[in-house]
């Protein structure tokens, strides 16, 4: 498996993959809106035998420190439980840290994301429309610079169905 940057011309294949992974177009359309707004800071694909089998996107989130939102993470339905999502998450975390970002926030299943170091407890002090037990944060390069504040996702998230 190869994890690499999304390339020009792959938007349709990524859209189809994400649509299939989520049983609908909402998250796939979110990616298109984030791209169009210039908010797709990190966009990686997992490729096997020339086929895109996974995708991850990180976009900026307004916080008291440089932070990103991880959404969405998608793996093709027929490729799940093979470690593809985990490899994409680890790759994105390493890349974001190397770029100087201080944290990544995610809204997702704690049982999945805690294995990478994401914590709902660490995110509990942040006000967000998505606040709750599924909002988690992963500090990059040490402790969080702040433990409370307001989070604002990129505007494209407001249009999620």
Spatial separation of the C-alpha atoms in residues 90 and 112, rounded to whole Å: 13
pLDDT score at 161: 60
pLDDT score at 26: 95
CATH code, domain carrying 41: 3.40.630.30
Q: Which parts of the chain have pLDDT scores under 50?
A: none
Spatial separation of the C-alpha atoms in residues 48 and 2, rounded to whole Å: 7
> Under DSSP, is residue 153 helix (H, G, I), strand (E, B) or coil?
strand
* Global confidence as pTM: 0.95
DSSP category for residue 134: T
Number of domains in the chain: 1
Spatial separation of the C-alpha atoms in residues 153 and 114, rounded to whole Å: 21
Spatial separation of the C-alpha atoms in residues 66 and 50, rounded to whole Å: 34
Range of the domain at 155: 2-159
pLDDT score at 81: 85
Spatial separation of the C-alpha atoms in residues 79 and 51, rounded to whole Å: 11
- Residue 67 · residue 101 · CB < 8 Å: yes
For residue 18, with 0-12 CB atoms within 10 Å meaning exposed, 13-18 middle and 19 or more buried, which class applies?
buried
Spatial separation of the C-alpha atoms in residues 92 and 97, rounded to whole Å: 8
């Amino acid at each position: 498996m190869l994890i690499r940057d999304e390339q020009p011309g792959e938007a349709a294949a990524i859209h189809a993959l994400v649509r299939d992974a989520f049983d609908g177009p909402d998250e796939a359309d979110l990616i298109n809106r984030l791209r169009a707004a210039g908010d797709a800071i990190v966009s990686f694909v997992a490729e096997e035998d020339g086929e895109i089998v996974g995708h991850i996107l990180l976009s900026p989130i307004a916080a008291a420190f440089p932070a990103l939102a991880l959404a969405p993470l998608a793996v093709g339905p027929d490729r799940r439980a093979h470690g593809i999502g985990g490899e994409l998450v680890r790759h994105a975390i390493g890349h974001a840290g190397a770029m100087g970002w201080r944290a990544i926030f995610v809204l997702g299943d704690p049982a999945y994301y805690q294995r990478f170091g994401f914590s709902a407890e660490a995110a509990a002090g942040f006000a967000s429309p998505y606040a709750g037990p599924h909002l988690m944060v992963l500090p990059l390069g040490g402790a969080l610079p702040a433990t409370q504040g307001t989070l604002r996702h990129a505007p494209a998230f407001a249009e999620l169905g």
